[in-house]
Structure 1
């Protein structure tokens, strides 16, 4: 039986990028990646098995035949193996019908391309399989596709669309996968694939002189765990242990930073520290958050139908409804507008909240929160306990992310119009390390309110930091496994 065996490669940034010559496999025997230097730039080559002229003729014949034979949607199958078996049965029938004799090797190649084009995303399916890729950008005809690699940044690929109809049909296929409509009268595509990847595109050459184009913001199939982020030095174990203790004691946390710096990645990792049986409600525009808690309600906003906003369910409405469910934790993927006011009202009602906000620093956050369309009063802003700033590390590789600061929010100085904060964790770019200051006002407040000895709190955080480091040393990186380890640790700690 034909098999598509996924490989989970682990790669590291080489010391000298000018000499990079990196190869890794994604699908055994079918998809390989070669990252190498060419002139003054790094190139990303997607390598697939080549079809001979005869195999290409057979493939085209089989493809046309399958279009007539296929009577089920891929979504109707329970798993990949059932789907492959279905296609194998149809292909065997067609090969016999057309009296084609092919070797096992040729049969596997044909099956791969049939599966890739019917179930996958054609020429870019290999890019979708690579978890190191964050963005895929096709800028038009006769120009190389670009990708954003998690370790090496933007790179040119060896994929080029040279046929206008081919790329138009592919964008229409993307629209169908997003349950969207795209046409010459309505040439813009904006939607999400079933896996959560975000799609933008247009098929009109009048609007886009270089030809039809599309971009895909990929959704990582397996979320980054706290141990993975510690291992990559995005954040320290001490910092995570400190945040773990605060989340456990229901602090309000806002993660800030620019576009593509890993705000949602950090947010998802932090959710691992929410007590396992707690009632959680998450609210998002696009489904990105994935956690392993059983008592979790995930909600996603819905666009309106037509111009009258019929059927629209926005973040504002989802937030208001979520509070009626009396959640112990509210998670908002990202706040931007009026829904922010509702989120802070929820904090005031005693619903601890974790969210992200697009802003470079604390001062700009406060400025945006206090002005239209949000218009928050200082009394509500001061409900924030923690602001975490995430950024790209410009001193190293451009794609390296670091938690730059973790600050406790104290108050807003109305006279000066600035926020007073206390830095607990700061990033030292000179030696790529983190400095932790255990003198915490929030921990002091927890100590007083709950009657816990401050020294006991300090030791608890230290032990948790060492525990997280032990998981890193054991190379326990899978989010599900990390979640179980944390649950077991908390059980033994009590």
Structure 2
């Protein structure tokens, strides 16, 4: 098989006959697209796109649950793969092989076939056998195709039966891959052994971090998972989603991006809040490009999800299952002695929240996420057990960004629903004072700026040494930055591009970069 992507459907059909066999059985041919785009293809419900490696995905949304069909070379008989593995084992000599594992195994495979140690039936494509042999030996079995799809957020199987996925554009989908209890158990044992984890009926729950950054959670055995062993893979992009991409997907507005850009430059403490699957961590990571590139940052997480471009980045994770436990509470206390410019906490759930607010009180900006749908819920969670932040300390938090996952037709979207500036807490009235600066208009599907910002007019002006007479200049700059971000969203949406633009703004000034954008030039050159 070739690790290429076919530019046209005609080329794909010629290169991969199994794709033609699949499409010939469909009543309606799907639209072939090379790159998914939420705005361009978000309303389509019958799409086909390539993943490379000879793998294709067919999305067909409709009915009880949408379908995600993985199209790949047909898997040969189990016995044939076992025979090839045994034959390869016989000819492997006790020496170190140079080159990539894939190339070495492919060479050994061809030797076995050439020496006629194993005979492949004429009606079976040799390249298909090689594909599945390599996938089992150095891949992750039947889940490799899913791992290759950058549009998937979750891959899971609830037990014997179908694999399910969560697609960034179409939400939950049922796949065409079906596996037995024995196949699941065999795969999970092989993968856990490869990564040095003990998986057994006495140790049935483990977490594995895959090389691409994905988190693999396993629950093993029918005694605790009645439908049989199950797993969930949480996928993370190798390059973070950028603010420009969030603007392109209309999760953000350019004005909101510009507003947060100006505030993060001066060092504010903020929380990104929302319910499950609302995109909190994605937004948090996107916002890190606005933190000055020379800042010292410490990130603290239970599971490593944050991915920064800063060189002076200390990345810490908890240790709960081996040796002496090290909790987020422990890591946060240690972080206060390391003089960071910013502390990023993956998610606040427990007593570490008190330490985070102590950090804020001592002048360390903190960026974090939290499960809360409204400002009232956030206040309740922060001040109740087990977090128990004193109510009078809540005003150390400058800003809250609330996100939600919504359904639009047959697809799901994520939107920032409100941005609130925390002004202070009034003990006499037991009331948290805040000002909404952005509010989501559901009818227009638009995020509206309320026209002014308390924090821009106080924190940013003070930081720059400006007086009130320069307020108009401040808001003109907000508009200029919004135009820069809108230009990036339309032309250079990658995180790398936004990162380089932020550095250029800091080095050359907003207006020089703005004029380059108006001339349709690359912002950072």
Post-superposition shift, 1:90?
2.1
Kindly indicate whether the alpha-carbon contact (under 8 Å) linking 2:214 and 2:234 is maintained by their aligned counterparts in 1: yes
C-alpha distance 438-173 of structure 1, shift in aligned 2 (>3 A) = farther
| CA offset digits 1:213-262 (Å, max 9, x no partner) | 22222222331111110000000011010000000010111111111111
SS at match of 2:324: coil
Deviates more, 1:478-487 or 1:282-291: 478-487
Q: Which of 46, 64, 86 is 2:86 aligned to?
A: 64
- Residue number in structure 2 paired with 1:484: 500
Residue 232 (structure 1) aligns with:
249
Question: Are 2:33 and 1:27 equivalent residues in the alignment?
Answer: no
Partner SS, residue 100 of structure 2: helix
Q: Is the 8 A contact 1:152 1:399 kept in 2?
A: yes
The 1-side partners of 2:228 and 2:92 are apart by 32
TM-score, normalised with respect to structure 1: 0.89
Aligned to 1:122: 141
CA distance in 2, matches of 1:394, 1:418: 33
1:255-294 matched pairs, under 5 angstroms: 255-294=272-311
Corresponding position of 1:146: 164
Relative to structure 1, the CA distance from residue 99 to residue 70 in structure 2 (aligned partners, 3 Å threshold; closer, same or farther) is: closer
Give the corresponding residue for 2:27.
none
- Structure 2 partner of 1:109: 128
State whether residues 45 and 62 of structure 2, in contact with CA within 8 Å, keep that contact through their aligned partners in structure 1. no
Superposition TM-score, scaled by structure 2 size? 0.84
Q: How many residue pairs were aligned? A: 476
Distance, in Å, in 2 between the alignment partners of 1:408 and 1:77 is: 60
Give 1:13 deviation, angstroms. 6.6
User: By how many angstroms is 1:418 displaced?
Assistant: 3.4
The 1:40–1:283 alpha-carbon spacing in structure 2 relative to 1, beyond 3 Å, is closer
Asked if 1:451 corresponds to 2:477, the answer is no
Conserved in 1, the CA contact under 8 Å of 2:274 and 2:370? yes
In the alignment, the residues of structure 1 paired with residue 139 and residue 132 of structure 2 have an alpha-carbon distance, to the nearest angstrom, of: 9
Are 1:44 and 2:61 an aligned pair?
no
- How far apart in 1 are the matches of 2:191 and 2:75? 25
CA contact (8 A) 1:227 1:471 kept: yes
Q: 1:493 aligns with which of 494, 509, 520?
A: 509
The one-character-per-residue Cα deviations of 1:430-489 (angstroms, maximum 9, x if unpaired) are 011110123211112122454322222212211111011111222x12212221122123
Q: Structure 2 CA distance, aligned partners of 1:415 and 1:228?
A: 44
2:233 is the counterpart of 1:213: no
Q: Deviations over 1:55-106 (max 9, x none)?
A: x76543223334567799xxx999xx72322222322332234356879x94
Q: For residues 70 and 404 of structure 1, do their structure 2 counterparts lie closer, same or farther at Cα, with a shift above 3 Å needed?
A: farther
Q: Distance in 2 between matches of 1:125 and 1:108?
A: 17
- Equivalents in 1 of 2:369, 2:90: separation in Å? 48
Q: Structure 2 vs 1, CA of residues 317 and 118 (structure 1 numbering), >3 Å: closer, same or farther?
A: same
2:177 counterpart of 1:159: yes
2:211 corresponds in structure 1 to: 194
Pair 1:429 & 2:442 matched: yes
Whole-Å separation in 2 of the counterparts to 1:147 and 1:67: 35
2:318 is equivalent to residue 318 of structure 1: no
User: Alignment partner of 1:134: what SS?
Assistant: strand
The answer for the alignment partner of 1:135 in structure 2 is 154
CA separation of 1:450/1:227 partners in 2, compared to 1, >3 Å: closer, same or farther? closer
SS in 2 for 1:393: strand
Is the contact made by 2:83 and 2:118 (CA closer than 8 Å) also made in structure 1?
A: no
2:108 to 77, 86, 90: 90
Q: Establish whether residue 466 from structure 1 lines up as the match of residue 483 from structure 2.
A: yes
1:20-71 deviation digits (Å, cap 9, x = unpaired): 211000015x110011146443211001112566xx7654322333456779
Residue 25 of structure 2 corresponds to which residue in structure 1? none
Identify which of 25, 35, 38 aligns with 1:9. 35
- 1:371, CA displacement in angstroms? 1.6
| Deviation (angstroms), 1:113 | 1.3
- What is the distance in 2 between the residues matched to 1:412 and 1:370? 12
Match of 1:301 among 318, 321, 331: 318
The Cα offsets for residues 86-142 of structure 1, whole Å up to 9 and x where unpaired, read as 222322332234356879x9443233212211222211211111111111121112x
How much does 1:414 deviate?
2.7
SS for the counterpart of 1:91 is helix
Shift of 1:407: 0.5
1:122, 1:159 → 2: CA distance? 12
Distance in 2 separating the partners of 1:337 and 1:354:
16
184-193 vs 259-268, greater mean Cα deviation:
184-193
1:241 matches 2:220: no
Q: Write out per-residue CA displacement over residues 148-181 of structure 1, whole angstroms, 9 at most, x where no aligned residue.
A: 111111111111113x222111122343355421
Q: Deviations over 1:363-397 (max 9, x none)?
A: 11111111222221123211011000011124555
Q: Contact between 1:408 and 1:421, CA under 8 Å: does it hold in 2?
A: yes
Structure 2: any 5+ residue segments left out of the alignment? 7-33, 511-525
- C-alpha separation between the residues in 2 aligned to 1:65 and 1:203? 31
Conservation of the 8 A alpha-carbon contact between 2:383 and 2:390: yes
Query: Residue 331 of structure 2: SS of its match in structure 1?
Result: helix
Distance 1:242 1:16 in 2: 28
Per-residue CA deviations over 1:179-232 (Å, capped at 9, x if unaligned) read: 421112232333433333223333322333322222222222331111110000
Aligned to 1:327: 340
